[in-house]
Amino acid sequence: MPLASVLLAACLAVALSLAPTPAHAEPISLSIATVVAAVQAFAAASPILFNLALTATIAIVSTVARAVFAPDQENQGPRGTELQLSADPNEPRKLILGRRAVAGSLAYWCTSGTNNKYCWLVIALADHRIDALEEIHVNGEKVADWAATGAEVNASAPDKFDFGDSGPRMKIYFRPGTVGQSVVSDLTTDAPTRESGGSKEWTTDHRLDGTAYVAIRLMFSPTAFPSGRPSFLFMVRGARLYDPRLDSTQPSGSGAHRYATPGTWTYTDNLEVARYNYLRGMVRGADGRPLFGLGCLTLTSTSQLPWRR
């Protein structure tokens, strides 16, 4: 078995070269040719033992090689979750329970003004009503004058990005995701006209009912945004949940919560309440259309399927 013999000898040689040895060890005086000759004699005398030895040697070499060439885990920094704006047209529906930092998903963008001086970004945060948008971070820095709110905000011009020349460099509009929320009228004014049909790309019908989102208008400024379009991070206080303990129609309950009326629900970060809502199913509003949760699995009519934004 000359080929197998050579392979076993080579494995032995590699194992010896990779294995750690004392600094004062004697040099290996046995040549590869001598090792091959010895292996051939062993193979001829006992083929079965030779095959077992060959398998064991290959396993040893593989183990030693992995130990030698494995990356140094101690020198690798902690791995975190990378938060980036998503532009995936097939982005799945998003439910936020408790407080969470999100980059959002891009729902729409356009440029407007002379020489495309403005850039509009519509960023969806969650596919339901959220309790509040607590913080906004731009390029890693918190916008100082943004106050936590669960109400509609029509425009906010942070002083940090207002240089007093040609108006504010950034305006932020917020919609919490209520059914029937108002459209961002400044966006409908600035949105370009479609090439066919003559209608606006963003109209008064584009309310994004039931979707919490921000619309941001950026003014081109190499001074304010030297690296181009800035990155955004949003600290969100998520979904309002139904708590049967706060429903006076339930045994031992006391309060105004009603399962069929999401407007009566309140925010909580209680894990058991969140689990209860997901297991039972979370509905949209007065029409009772389901949004999230295992309760959606009991639907029998296609008209009850989760609505789309």
Question: pLDDT tens digits, residue range 149-200?
Answer: 999 999 886 666 665 555 678 899 999 999 889 999 999 999 998 877 778 9
CB proximity list for 62: less than 8 A, separation 6 or greater: none
Within 117-235, where are the H helices? Answer: 185-190
Q: Where does the pLDDT of residue 114 fall: very low under 50, low under 70, confident under 90, or very high at 90 and above?
A: confident
Task: Annotate 100-112 with three-state secondary structure.
Answer: EEECCEEEEEEEE
Q: Tell me, what's the pLDDT at 66?
A: 67
* pTM of the entire predicted model: 0.68
With a cut of 80, say whether residue 215 has pLDDT above it. yes
Rg, C-alpha atoms of the chain: 32
> CA–CA separation, 151 vs 131, rounded Å?
9
Q: Tell me, what's the pLDDT at 88?
A: 81
Q: Tell me, what's the pLDDT at 226?
A: 79
Q: How far is CA 173 from CA 121, 163, 192, 291, 309, in A?
A: 10, 20, 19, 25, 18
Q: Tell me, what's the pLDDT at 179?
A: 85
Q: Tell me, what's the pLDDT at 243?
A: 92
- The sign of the CA dihedral 143, 149, 150, 154 is negative
> CA–CA separation, 244 vs 279, rounded Å?
13
